[in-house]
Amino acid sequence: MTDLAAAWTAFETAAREDGETRIIDHFAAEPDRLERLVVEASGLRLDLSKQPWSKAGLAAALDLARAAGVEAARERLFAGAAVNVTENRAALHMALRAPDGAGFEAVGKPVSAQVEAVRDRMRAFAEAVRSGERRGATGQAFRTIVHIGIGGSDLGPRLVWRALKPLEPRIELRFVGNVDPADIAQALAGLDAATTLVVVVSKTFTTQETMANATAARAWLRAFLGEAGDGHLAAASTNLEACAAFGIPAERVFGFEDWVGGRYSVMSAVGLSCAVALGWDVFAALQAGAAAMDDHFRTAPLAANAPALLALAHLFNRNGLGRPVRVVEPYAERLGLLASYLQQLEMESNGKRVTLSGAPVAHATATAVFGNAGTNDQHAFFQMLHQGTDVIPVDFVAVAQAAEGPAPQQAILLANAIAQAQALMTGSPNAAEPHRHFPGDRPSSFILIDRLTPETLGALIALYEHKVFVEGVLWDINSFDQWGVELGKTLATKVLAELEGGPAGAHDPSTAALIERLKG
């Protein structure tokens, strides 16, 4: 048996043993439990004491991380090695938010100077739009941005805007992701083309859904402004030729490289809309918060490393105790898109079934993630969390200090977050009335943010990015490709040709019947 195989066996054995002890009983047995299992990093307080592991279970998890080479893999990641092995690419989202002069390299090629050059151009563009120096075709200042993208070109900016937007923004930001025509129609409804800027985000500038929406937006601009409407278009893309053909010259195109995966790209040119609508200082602070978490992840020992410990806690439930689903529940309305964002980050990154070498994985991989915002969800699916037949771990995220609204309500919000985590763990036995019995012993993590600022939001995003990377190392999978999205897209192109009157293709009976029904 290899050292890694032995470490996995020891980890799984420890998890099974810990599963026989109630979480609450670990506190009595381990007087130093809070001290060991609370980590503060980059403005976040991560409490993992309500996870099901004992001191011995945590030790086995850390031994597994060391045996899997997490520390060496972390160094390869930051060194710009080709950790994305199927595409021979680095994964250097950390370079996007690093201070000037950081000196990052991607597979031996210096990249920081290029990052800084794009960042300088983004800043100049954002400040020119916000100040009114850059205006629309009729000479009016821009008052609305329509951001068009999908997947990683959409979810990250949406999350950032909802989390940080002012109550009365100087520039409003709307998003279009779905190719459903209702999405673009609703986004453009009520807008004045003369004061609207459209930002199209597509690395290749060929993504079907994005280009369909971009074409519709361009037609809308031209309907009101004529050909001058093209001056209201900007792009985040690497395909300058395609952008120019679409009507967007190079001076309004902001690039990002192939070592930036879409779901890791919010702090690249993909975040241009947010940089304009929020202001450059806010966007720079978001980057600084993520960079601070990058530094923590790179330098902190595993036993005090927030992303590594969060990954191990999730692994303890997923692989040690067979729990394939997790809830992410921010008790912060502004973070209501966090679970949606993490669905892509985690499930696209680690929803894999083969190892780096192409062999079948030996262990179950990504958990399914869902959630929205507390307290709403307490009146939706929390019934299942407390009394359902499945044990579903929860990541609670709470913000200590409210920045807006009636101050007394923040205490109510926080009381609910704390109480839900407590209730899940302790339960409430009631043998006389089984319908009122709460079994408890249901694990959770608790991430407490002092204040929701650009810096702490950046740190939170980076925390989960690095957590995903650690899990990928432990499962020996590539967290940076996404081949699984391609097959359906390829088939959709063929189906579309048939729906538009092309010859029938070879399909299974159900698919053929659906196509025929829609054609009819």
What single-letter DSSP state applies at residue 318? I
Which of 348, 455, 465, 471 is an active site residue?
348
Catalytic site includes residue 352: no
203 flagged as catalytic: no
The letter for the amino acid at 158 is R
Q: Using CA atoms, how far apart are residues 215 and 212, in angstroms rounded to an integer?
A: 5
Q: Is the preceding omega at residue 21 within 30 degrees of 0, hence cis?
A: no
Helix (H) / strand (E) containing 197: strand 196-201
d(CA 455, CA 362): 38
Long-range pairs for 26-31: beta carbons < 8 A, 24 or more residues apart = 26/53, 26/54, 29/54, 30/54, 30/55
Burial class (CB in 10 A: 0-12, 13-18, 19+), 79: middle
Active-site annotation holder among 379, 404, 433, 500: 379
Sign of CA dihedral 88, 284, 402, 340: negative
Question: What's 386's DSSP letter?
Answer: H
381, two tokens: 């699916």
| Cis amide leading into 195 (omega within 30) | no
- The amino acid at residue 157 is P
C-alpha closest to that of 372 among 411, 332, 404, 422:
332
* Interatomic CA distance for residues 347 and 338, integer angstroms: 14
Residues 499 and 518: beta-carbon distance below 8 Å: yes
Of 228, 200, 223, 222, which Cα lies nearest the Cα of 212?
200
Q: Which of 75, 489, 516, 519 is catalytic?
A: 489
290 near 100, Cβ under 8 Å?
no
Tokens coding 159: 């999350």
Output DSSP code: residue 428: B
The first and second tokens of residue 350, run together, are 């680690």
The verdict on whether 93 is a catalytic residue reads no
Q: Which residues are identified as catalytic? A: 348, 379, 489
